[in-house]
Amino acid sequence: MAGDALTEAYKKTHPRSGELHERAINVFAGDGATSFVRILDPYRPYITHARGSKKWDADGNEYIDYVMGHGALLLGHSHPTVVKAVQEQVARGVHYGDNHELEVEWGELIKSMMPSAERVEFFSCGQESNLMAIRLSRIFTGRKKILRFVENFHGWADEVALPPDSPGITSREVKTIPYDLNQAEKELATEEYAILMTEGGGAHMSGQVPLDFDFVRELPALAHKYGTVWHMDEVVTGFRDAVGGFQSLVGVRPDLSSLGKIVGGGLGAGALAGRSDIMQAFSSRTPGEKQVLHSGTWNANPLTSSAGIATLKYIQDGKPQAKANQLASYLRKQGNGMLKDKGINGWLYGRSITHFYLGPIEFEPADETSPPSNDINNVVGIDRARLRLDLHLLNRGISTLLARMFILSSEHTEKDVDKTVSALADALDAMIAEGSIKKA
């Protein structure tokens, strides 16, 4: 909204970012941004450095960061243990184009943390692991179709994109259904599905549309009854809220699990972990018609392996997860108290990734992991008010994912959270005053 007071104030305190944005729009067709979640009117800040829970922009503004590398940084920015490991490895070589001990250690750590990981395979990012899960399931079952849950996010490539009928997609083998066991059974009973994919925690970053644990517990038996591989996408949840991932919270054992984000310790990585009989397709001894040739220049490169190992070793006792969970819970408690006091229709819920619901309160949620509405449009919607809040928060030194997600790390502090709640309160007051949101 060019010309309005907030936008002009933001531009005044972000002139260098403005200059970089002007250059960027001549380079990046996506409104000058390199991911759609980084598009904002007039522009998001251009960051120069980050440490712990904070990051700083080219104009010297400081932010408490809740984007946290899109969820990759459970240990905050530039954790000394990870920095040391990466610095040492960079001097020893970043790519041997060969086997090395670090990849073995990295894979063994995953196996030790996630009991369903009988075998592990590395990739460059999370969606590659998902694509391979689909490929392996097709080989294993001899079927083609993919069953997914509505709004569950698995990447941008054809078979994992959201929505599955996005422009340019030719794959017609994806069916999405709501979280409904009867519908799941109806589809699975056709015995046409190779794979049932389930986003760990629930749709959008581990639970914006949360999964009920009892519902999840029914899925493996249901999938197996009809010969379908059950896959869990733990790209976000892998090692975030618990050492063994979301599956360990629920007490289930997926056939295949995708990892990403945290597994790479802040460098780009993906991993697929799961049943050895399904993953046997990678072996050169498997007959050709059941075999997968797994290539990938960056698979388990030594540099990423070093960051992954340093991170997994650091978090395998569960203490960083406990700290992030506890801070997120503190954020929800303080934030929800503030929203109630102000009479604003809003609710913070989730686990170590806390989601901010802004919309009609249809009922009192059963617990702090669920939203106060079952209407999926209310729950996932990003409207103008939301983007406005994003700018209000940035202007107050708080960086979130679309003003929707507060991604906590073990390096945030209660002081950070207190500042955040007061900035959120201030931003909401300003929005009421300017008429972009209303009180209940």
Q: Catalog residues that contact ligand PLP under the rule CB under 6 A.
A: 70, 125-127, 130, 153-155, 199, 205, 233, 235-236, 260, 270
CB atoms closer than 10 angstroms to residue 212: 14
Q: How far apart are CA 192 and CA 288, in angstroms?
A: 23
Q: Please say which residue, 206 or 395, places its beta carbon nearer to ligand PLP.
A: 206
Minimal distance, residue 130 CB to ligand PLP, in Å: 6
Minimal distance, residue 403 CB to ligand PLP, in Å: 17
Q: Please say which residue, 303 or 425, places its beta carbon nearer to ligand PLP.
A: 303
Q: Please say which residue, 236 or 339, places its beta carbon nearer to ligand PLP.
A: 236
- Structural tokens at position 340: 């109630």
Residues 6+ apart with CB under 8 A from 58: 16, 17, 20, 45, 46, 47, 48
Minimal distance, residue 214 CB to ligand PLP, in Å: 21
Residue nearest to ligand PLP (CB): 126
Minimal distance, residue 176 CB to ligand PLP, in Å: 15
Q: Please say which residue, 202 or 372, places its beta carbon nearer to ligand PLP.
A: 202
Q: Please say which residue, 127 or 395, places its beta carbon nearer to ligand PLP.
A: 127
Minimal distance, residue 425 CB to ligand PLP, in Å: 29
Minimal distance, residue 96 CB to ligand PLP, in Å: 23
Q: Please say which residue, 126 or 346, places its beta carbon nearer to ligand PLP.
A: 126
Contacts of 354-361 spanning 24+ positions with Cβ under 8 A: 354/328, 354/405, 354/406, 354/407, 354/408, 355/204, 355/205, 355/207, 355/208, 355/404, 355/405, 355/406, 356/400, 356/403, 356/404, 356/405, 356/406, 358/385, 358/386, 358/389, 358/437, 361/440
